[in-house]
Structure 1
């Protein structure tokens, strides 16, 4: 039962990390796009 909790926490954590990476990638593209447009 304890292992299942740790497993769930790990999955939630990895999803959160992927989400953060996705946002940072979008922000980077946005910044580069703005710089090249000027």
Structure 2
């Protein structure tokens, strides 16, 4: 799956490091990383 996703031109990998996220905090963390990457935050 990782190789397939990396091959897509519109997919950018954003690593979160060695941390393991719980399901209830993973979405919030992902949105924060995306907004920080885009520059909205």
What interval of TM-score do these two structures reach, taking the shorter chain for normalisation?
A: 0.3 to 0.5
* TM-score relative to the length of structure 1: 0.43
State TM-score, norm by structure 2: 0.40
